[in-house]
Chains A and B, each alone.
Chain A
Amino acid sequence: MTRTRKPGVSRRATLAMMGAGAVTFATPWVARAQAKTIKIGMPTILSGRVAQLGTSSRNGVMLEVEKVNAAGGLAGRQIEMVIRDSKGQPQEAARVARELVNTDGCELLFDGEASSGSFAVHEVARDLGVLCIHTCSEASSLTADPKQHIPNAFRSVRQGIHDSIVGGSYAAAISKAKGLKKWATCSPDYAYGRDTTGEFTLYLKRFAPDVEIISESWPKLFQPDYTEVVTKILQAKPQALYSCLWGGDLTSYIDQANIYAMFSAMEVFAVNMADYTALTVVKNLPKGIHSGNRYIKTYPATAENAAWGDAYKAKYNEYPTNWSWQNATAVMLLSEAVKKANSTDGKKIADALRGLTIKCPFGADGTVTMRAEDQTLVGYAIGWGTTIPQEPYVPEVKAGDWKTIFELEAEWKKSKGYT
């Protein structure tokens, strides 16, 4: 009996075709699965004297990225953070940012640089057109100056001008109440120190016109010894002192001023004192230093903020810094913008970010807004209070009024020729 081959497609051929079809159709699916990950590049400072800026920024980002990924990612795509050290050098920050986009395939950038590096990363974002969120720089001009404006760059950070308006009005009220007319200033000798001090005294004098600055000191950044600065201020005999020294410089200054009993000789206003980086390090923290809020888990006094601070501490065994909340906010904003845009396309996310208001533990009223006109964060909790040497460190914070901030900021922009 001979077996005759029936016309048509054999069973074997059918199976082969099905197999081939499966491979053909499955290949793009596999490719799509790989592209499901969205890479976000982040140059930041992970080494050197201000490595804490980078590590606490990274921690803030990762805490939120894990939540977003656990909830399904950005429009179904898991976030992969690619975080690189810029060593605090602007040219290195720019190089790293460019490499992250061009070589590593990052579709978005978080700029975790201090002000000097931020302007460099900003230029890379301008050149490459990639969506960039500045997560650390507080220099007002980064978003206030229209020359800096690009549609693809945003800032999820507090701003020097906002701090100065709130600080100036707070200090003026105390000046009037206590009759503090003679003031001295002591701030680091670089752009941030000079600008912030200038803006603070501008608003201090505006709200308390009889205030006089009788002594100015400009120690260099990372100066190890402040003895001559401390004694110079003591000689001038001011009634109050303003300083925007920060981090290790501020703690050194406090230790050195403490043994001259400076804190009992004058009222001290140190905008960067109320941050756990400084509060927990100074062993003999004098009572009654006035400070702006940087990050403390008791302000805003909400369950959400306290829970966030505790979750951070539980994960990283240290309290968050000012940079931590700012970086966490960047992830929160991004996540909500992607939901709104229903896309991970940079341009669509940028459109969604403009004017976006989200629920946020760091908001003055439980929300923060990415202001559309200059693409910067507003509505965050901002205030001043006095320190005590143990937790909660700043028991009462006098909240800044955002209506006043907006009015005076608009005036300031006009005076600078920004509007």
Chain B
Amino acid sequence: MDLDALTGCLASSACLVTQTTSGFIIGMLLFLVAVGLTLIFGVLKVVNFSHGAFYMFGAYFAMTAYQFTGSFALAMLCGAVGTALLGLVFERVFMSRVYGRDVLMQLLVCYAFVLIFDDVVRMIWGPEFKSMGMPAAFQVMPLFIAGGVVPPYYLLLIGVALTMALILGLGLARTKIGKVIRAAAHNPGMVSALGINTGLIYGGVFALGGMLAGLAGALAAPVRSLTPGMGFSVLIESFIVTVIGGMGSILGALIGALLIGMIRSFGSLGFPLFTEGLMYLFMVIVLVARPTGLFGKEVA
């Protein structure tokens, strides 16, 4: 425990800016993965254990597109669209067969695909780790804000994730499709009786969830090494985020992800040997105080 370092940091604007941005970076990438997870659970009532694989595919798709085109924007697009299509096919062909089945069966199918997807990546891209490399446009000196260090690429990353959060929040609350999705989450039988194709909604939501995880993977690709199985560690932290924020809540995912980001960022200064533990401890406290998570709703 190094409380002096923590209090020293809180008293210094440079440290405060650097660590807060660091918390945002960790949090926003986690949010993109976790929000897909929570969306799929909220509507489809399926805990998608294979969600980390979409993060992995997003990174690999982006890297491949970047190698062929040299365009960072196209790489991001390929990462997002590729995983959306993969999500749609996966949901229609496999997941749709286990809706309403025993939760163990759902877990088994998802876990099987965690292994299958990892092997697919191994067969296509090889077992060794890869690196996409930072696009030339972002190979610049970091910005210095109030003495704190902020890399421009991370500003873009935070901006994209916040925009996605805004689009999702407004889209679900204000648009007709959003209302239908919310209705399908609440009472799919009634929505179906009204002549709305629930299969299409389920497929669409799964594709959207996959796309968000894929976008996170694509955004992470320039700064993280790519390996088969890379989605697993992100998945665990995403589950912590959704448990803290409340399963099914987008706002919960955002707040949960930011809290985890800040705990990691400031915890590494004050509790360098207990940063991971701090994260789990926080989750335990939230679960004891509010078993449904910070923004989760009681199931009737």
| 5 sample A-B contacts, Cβ–Cβ < 8 Å, listed by A number | A51-B127, A216-B272, A224-B230, A261-B141, A261-B149
Q: How far is the CB of B193 from chain A (nearest CB, A)?
A: 45
Expressed in whole angstroms, the Cα–Cα distance for A231 and B264 within the complex equals 11
Given contacts A224-B233, A252-B225, whether A277 and B272 have CB atoms under 8 Å apart is no
Nearest to A249 among chain B residues (CB) is: B225
The residues of A that contact B15 with a CB separation of less than 8 Å are: 235
Contact B151 A259 (CB under 8 A): yes
Would B134 and A47 count as touching, CB distance under 8 A?
Answer: no
B99 cross-chain contacts in A, Cβ below 8 A:
none
Stretch at the interface among A64-72, A278-286, A303-311: A278-286
Within 8 A of B (CB), among A65-114: none
- Contacts A235-B15, A284-B133, A284-B134 known; A228 to B127 CB distance under 8 Å? no
- Interface residue B229 (Cβ < 8 Å from any Cβ of A): yes
The count of residues in chain B whose C-beta lies closer than 8 Å to any C-beta of chain A is: 47
Which residues of A227-255 have CB atoms within 8 Å of chain B's CB atoms? Answer: 227-232, 234-235, 247-249, 251-252, 255
How far is A139 from B59 in the complex, measured between Cα atoms in Å? 34
CA–CA, A342 to B220, complex, Å? 57
Partner among B129, B153, B264 whose Cβ is within 8 Å of the Cβ of A251: B129
**A206 close to B (CB within 8 Å):** no
Q: Which residues from 129 to 169 on chain B have a C-beta closer than 8 Å to any C-beta of chain A?
A: 129-134, 138-139, 141-142, 149, 151, 153-154
Q: A55-B127, A259-B151, A281-B130 are in contact. Are A252 and B224 (CB under 8 A)?
A: yes
A235 to B265: give the CA distance in the assembly, Å: 12
- The answer to whether B264 touches A228, judged by C-beta atoms less than 8 angstroms apart, is yes
Contact present for A234 and B149 (CB under 8 Å) = yes
Contact segment of B17-25, B106-114, B200-208, B292-300: B17-25
- Does any Cβ of B come within 8 Å of A256's Cβ? yes
Find B269's partner among A46, A48, A232, A249 (CB 8 Å cutoff).
A232
A binding-site residues for B, Cβ under 8 Å: 46-49, 51-52, 55, 216-218, 220, 222-225, 227-232, 234-235, 247-249, 251-252, 255-256, 258-261, 277, 281-284
B134 near A49 (CB under 8 angstroms)? no
Contact B19 A231 (CB under 8 A): yes
B131 and A251 form a contact (CB under 8 A): yes
Asked if B287 is at the interface of the complex by the 8 Å CB criterion, the answer is no
Closest B residue to A232 by CB, please name it. Answer: B268
B84 at the interface (CB under 8 A from A): no
Report B-chain residues with C-beta under 8 Å of the C-beta of A249: 225
Chain B residues contacting A218 (CB-CB under 8 Å) are 272-273
Contacts A51-B127, A255-B131 given: A281-B225 contact, CB under 8 Å?
A: yes
8 Å CB contact of B134 from A46, A222, A258: A258
Closest 3 pairs between A and B when the two form their complex, measured CB to CB: A283-B133, A248-B129, A248-B225
Nearest chain B residue, comparing its CB with the CB of A49: B227
> With A251-B225, A281-B130, A284-B133 in contact, is A259–B22 under 8 Å at CB?
no
Q: CB within 8 A of A255: which of B19, B142, B223, B273?
A: B223
B residues 260-278 near A (Cβ < 8 Å) are: 264-265, 267-269, 272-273, 275-276
Shortest CB distance A353–B (Å) = 32
- In the complex, are the beta carbons of B153 and A217 less than 8 A apart? no
CB distance from B140 to the nearest CB of A (A): 9
Pairwise interchain contact A47-B224, C-beta atoms closer than 8 A:
no
- Report A362 CB to chain B, min CB distance, Å: 22
- Give chain A residues whose Cβ lies under 8 Å from the Cβ of B151: 259-260
**Bound Cα distance from A258 to B230, whole angstroms:** 21
Which A residues lie within 8 Å of B243 (CB)? none
Q: Give Cα A25–Cα B275 distance, bound, in whole angstroms.
A: 74
Residue from B134, B149, B225, B267 whose CB has the most chain A CB atoms within 10 Å: B225
Chain A residues lying within 8 Å of B234, measured Cβ to Cβ, are 224
Interface string of B216-241 (1 = CB under 8 A from A): 00001011110111100110000000
